[in-house]
Structure 1
């Protein structure tokens, strides 16, 4: 046995640490860094004893390690998304499946989804009330679910309506069950596991109908992900099974629907509290004529994801005894957690890290081992480019068609929704329709002596 070397950590019992992690995840992890430094051990339910790291060199080493050294955490969403899900697959099987899923989310295929995103955004914005406060997160959820159903599932008509009602509760319940032990006794009729399996059976039946329709109509003229997966081939020429396709489509929804919507709600929350940034974004949109790219908008989305990451940890499990990770030597089976919050707060990487400052990304793209809202390494979110396109088009359309009113209210607190960290009040907004002249926002700034930091405190 190789000698194990690990940093110190809190001595409190596992259930106490688990309760603290659930109720105050970001605040708690920052307090632990103040006390123990950039690496420490924790002991929490589900994962047990784990090493938490935020040193950039150690994070990069972990993300570039091969599957023989470290692998995806278990339990994970693969338990409920199915054995064909990228979350469930490891090693060579993960590599082969990921290779088939890359083409639909890059290049010409990706650009084909832009009009779908804009159409769904325009439709949803038409329902927004004017002149009174409301939470934007529910609207962002509706936009992202509709986009996924059209762009990924190719759903329309009755299947669209049923999947729109079925998928959000299916994924929400599944994410809660993913880290719970599967009961050994038979499931009761009203048990959450039984309800989940009934919803999953209905989902599989709908996907079978969508596959039958797609193959009957012909696949060549379709750009949705379902059609592309039906045409894809493994290296040996074989096709994905219908079960694998169903698992992967559900994986894409679970990984991209709520996270993208939550980031958009955070964007609204951030922009209302930074009127100078908001004015520059509107000026940029007007200069584009309401369409096209936008360097400052790109930078703003990056900064929202840095200061308000909706996923606060990325994990791996050690597969070899005596694995050396930077300063530490770990036993087989030990969990390693990368703290996204601590990495994004690192002053050596992001000077004035607590300030919301999109201009930091105007001259240089972020290092993908230091800016990690989509995870990292071979398990970085495969839909990252799709999510970025979606956020860009939604934000562009919102700023083109509506005036987003700034506020001097305190920052919305972080609220855990299980999978994601959302603004506690749902990213509240006040909007009004823009005139034909596309007026630029000229609203009162917050008092000069009251500047907001990105951790929700005033100073």
Structure 2
């Protein structure tokens, strides 16, 4: 990488564009580095250039990377007519009816419709489901030998979101259980590379993704018919029934295609990132005996302050989703000392903020005590992004992680290890423990109270 100087770009706005330092390498080279070593690239450029710098990659084009909490806050809180949804975005994987596809007023309307099933009393009602799925999955876990927790966590979180979305269990959801995991794995990898003009047949990755989507749409269509035919439809409190009954302010309802896209968004985003964070949680606490001892002691009570602090610290110390982006719509967007022209993308490097923010002394150290007695700063703790596009399922995910972790701690003794921490592995969008979050467990003779 060569040292860069401040780039100046002509613009028709009143203020000339004034951009941060830029990486001076050909676009294809930058793109390859971004796809295969995104986190290392961003960390290296942040060390060299500071809290803001420019890259030029094939998918997002000319992009400003932000690694500073205050600049991130300014971006997240900017008016939606100034900066909007990054282009391209996950809607090319999840579908045009997904909340990821929407912008401005349409995005706000959709979020208002999706919020009730994922917050407050609705999430409280799911706690039993989270515990049941954890107990069911853990019934046959091996004892006294290392095993990877990531895949079991994937199954727990998938089954939990399926039950929350459809209000039922059993064979009718088996088709989705066979479709969603490989679809998520493939979609996560394809989401970080440019889309081809066509799928080029069923034997290509994009062709396989389209085939999964076809099977998914057929299954969802049958499930919608079943829900609508339920004599107790008006009494159901599952997410699908709530969406089918919901209407916008003008009385219109979501179409079937939009509902299918939103459910796919919930099923995909609602289980992989949560499971990945849980995998990291087990990897982290097994290497920190003092943290584990406090968690076990607390699990025998009705408290969860330290468990919540541990979850917050796992999200900070091992950030699963490392970026959140916007697209500049106005002729020029002022961000700190910089002036960014229309057409640029602005990406917040979430992992860098978690490592560099002044809020976190000795940031490499894993220490839940940072969050004991105080909630994380919404500026410096951003695992779910921020602003109007903050993850709508954040509350659901947080409660689920809390219940799953509590249930495992009550029923199993986790052995500690002095082994080095697992390396970070990229699954495309999400970052997971390279060995799958391995732990050694032994079932307790009697569960903790």
For 1:56 and 1:438, the matched residues in 2 are separated by 40
User: SS of the residue aligned with 1:412?
Assistant: coil
For 1:247 and 1:195, the matched residues in 2 are separated by 18
Partner residue, 2:295: 281
Partner residue, 1:16: 29
Equivalences for 1:270-419 in 2 at 5 Å? 270-288=284-302, 293-419=303-429
Which string of whole-angstrom CA distances, capped at 9 and with x for unpartnered residues, describes residues 14-33 of structure 1? 33333333343333322222
Aligned-pair distance for 1:179? Answer: 5.1
- Contact residue 153 and residue 249 of structure 1 kept, 8 A: no
TM-score for both structures, normalised by structure 2: 0.93
User: SS of the residue aligned with 1:419?
Assistant: coil
Q: Are 1:70 and 2:61 matched, yes or no?
A: no
Q: Are 1:112 and 2:125 matched, yes or no?
A: yes
Structure 1: gaps (5+ residues): 440-459
User: SS of the residue aligned with 2:17?
Assistant: coil
- Contact residue 46 and residue 67 of structure 2 kept, 8 A: no
Partner residue, 2:93: 80
Partner residue, 2:221: 208
User: SS of the residue aligned with 1:87?
Assistant: helix
For 1:436 and 1:188, the matched residues in 2 are separated by 55
- Contact residue 154 and residue 225 of structure 1 kept, 8 A: yes
TM-score for both structures, normalised by structure 1: 0.91
Partner residue, 1:130: 143
Aligned-pair distance for 1:135? Answer: 0.9
User: SS of the residue aligned with 1:7?
Assistant: strand
* Residue of structure 2 aligned with 1:167, choices 180, 201, 206: 180
Question: What is the CA RMSD across the aligned residues, in angstroms?
Answer: 1.8
Equivalences for 1:171-210 in 2 at 5 Å? 171-178=184-191, 180-184=193-197, 187-210=200-223
Aligned length: 435
User: SS of the residue aligned with 2:100?
Assistant: coil
Aligned-pair distance for 1:44? Answer: 2.3
For 1:348 and 1:322, the matched residues in 2 are separated by 29
User: SS of the residue aligned with 2:432?
Assistant: strand
For 1:347 and 1:185, the matched residues in 2 are separated by 42
Partner residue, 2:9: none
Aligned-pair distance for 1:201? Answer: 2.0
* Residue of structure 2 aligned with 1:232, choices 219, 242, 246: 246
Aligned-pair distance for 1:182? Answer: 4.7
Partner residue, 2:8: none
For 2:165 and 2:274, the matched residues in 1 are separated by 15
Change (3 A) 1:6 1:387: same
After superposing the two structures, state which structure 1 stretch, 224-233 or 185-194, moved more: 185-194
Aligned-pair distance for 1:367? Answer: 2.0
Partner residue, 1:50: 63
User: SS of the residue aligned with 2:300?
Assistant: helix
User: SS of the residue aligned with 1:330?
Assistant: strand
After superposing the two structures, state which structure 1 stretch, 58-67 or 154-163, moved more: 154-163
Structure 2: gaps (5+ residues): 1-11
Partner residue, 2:53: 40
